[in-house]
Chain A
Amino acid sequence: MSTRDKVIAIIAEQAVLDPSDVTEQSTLEDLGIDSLGLVESIFAIEEEFDISIPFNANDPSESDFDISNVGAIIAGIEKLVAEQS
């Protein structure tokens, strides 16, 4: 599975949706993921890829990690995974 597919699978599970219903344009709000769900997703992604995501739940928009939509999240993860290897 590609990084993209893995991230989508994690987000889909959190949103209780089929992965095919999650697109790169989807926002977390569209998917019905609230702040607690977001923290859980970030945790699951960190565990999956063994990376550390710079994300502060106090003010997500101020974090160095773009969560504006699924595509942005995937791009961020791909960058972190690349940096790690």
Chain B
Amino acid sequence: MKRVVITGAGTINALGHSVPETFEAMREGRCGIGQLEFRDVERLAIQIGGQVRGFEAEGRFNRQQMTLYDRFTQFTLTAAEQAIAQAGLEFHGDMAARSGVVLGTAGGGVSTWDDNYRSVYEDGKNRVHPFVVPKLMNNAAASHVSMQYNLKGPSFTVSTACASSNHAMAQAFQMIRSGMAPAMVTGGSESMLCFGGVKAWEGLRVMSKDACRPFSLTRSGMVQGEGAGIFVFEDYEHAKKRGAEILCEVIGYAMSSDASDIVMPSKQGAARAMSGALADARINADEVGYINAHGTGTAANDKTECAAVADVFGPHADRLMISSTKSMHGHLIGGTGAVELLACIMALRDGVIAPTIGYEEPDPECALDVVPNEARDADVSVVLSNAFAFGGLNAVLALRKV
């Protein structure tokens, strides 16, 4: 089995347009959530979100590209450029033939659906742009990354709602560990912050009108975000041989299905994913210093997740730190695990634990060290990243300092 390391990271999200900007915001406990700005927002009951601001796609992509790139693809390509530049990899010959792209997204080109439905239903038009389908398809982002960087190996898109990115990164990890691929571009993106995207979520009545406050007794629900997180996963020996800078090692993962309810999470499903990741990584529970929580800020998630952590870690649950960075960047749905992996990398590399901001009052059912409101310096060597999706599909990754 090959060891797998991360040699490149890129992002764009409500906290910043790069990894350093995002780290700085996480260290400062800055909130990227604010008033949403897009057409018809006044008709929404929920008007806040972690929207990416100051992103001028028109200057970055040419006219032809703009007709093919939905916002989720634009985010993906922006983050992929950073990640692949940092890794310093170029894909030629056998390396290109065996390396691929596995990305996660829940909705794909949601705003392309939204704009074109509006055009035909509301505006009564009878013709849409010829590229609507290749623009909105869930695999569009993965395909454009593949084309841009000559990645010709196994490439596809995983869609498991809020666990999409973690499932995608688990696949990429597995491909390198098994020797199938020397390197993989992986992660995920989401862009649902448009009228139809938010309106659909409103229906479930789990969205907060004011803030995302995971684990706080005063929590009022989840807040959506948008953006992308993209990484280069690479065979450790391959990375070492070429003298690449290693950000951290991916040491294991597990996936599980609750097989119980389409929206309510299960403690057993979450616990099986966490304990499975520990077993796959061959580590003891007490080695884990930090967990990046799924931590959506809904009562259902937060209570279930904390109970699952207590079950898996026993007395060590009171010693480890667990935080939800969704409080800062919002819930990126299919892209969330990817952006949250950055908090794991920051913990391992910089020894800084990102806080759970917006925390007001302890919830007895979430009685763990949730790193409230302020980032903390801590030396941790092993971390987990949790993602528990609607549909009961769970994926947990384990990472280690190198």
Contacts and interface: CB of A to CB of B under 8 A. Distances in A.
Interface residues of A, number: 12
14 contacts: A35-B263, A35-B264, A36-B261, A36-B263, A39-B204, A39-B205, A42-B205, A43-B203, A55-B205, A56-B205, A58-B208, A58-B221, A59-B220, A59-B299
A17 interface: no
Nearest to A63: B205
A42 B204 CA distance: 10
Interface string A33-60: 0111001001100000000100111110
A36 B262 CA distance: 9
B221 A56 contact: yes
Size bin of chain B's contact surface: 10 to 19
Nearest to B203: A43
Interface in B179-225: 203-206, 208, 219-221
Q: Is the interface of B mostly helix, strand, loop or mixed?
A: loop
B298 interface: yes
B204 A57 contact: yes
A57 B219 CA distance: 12
A19 to B, nearest CB: 25
Interface of A: 34-36, 39, 42-43, 52, 55-59
A57 B206 contact: yes
Contacts of B264: 34-36
Contacts of A57: 204-206
Q: Is the interface of A mostly helix, strand, loop or mixed?
A: loop
Contact of B220 (A34, A42, A52, A58): A58
A55 to B, nearest CB: 6
A58 B219 contact: yes
Contacts of A56: 205-206, 220-221
A14 B262 CA distance: 17
A56 B261 CA distance: 20
Contacts of A39: 203-205
Nearest to B264: A35
A58 B299 contact: yes
Contacts of B262: 36
A39 B261 CA distance: 15
Nearest to B297: A58
A56 B208 CA distance: 9
Contacts of A55: 205
A53 B99 CA distance: 52
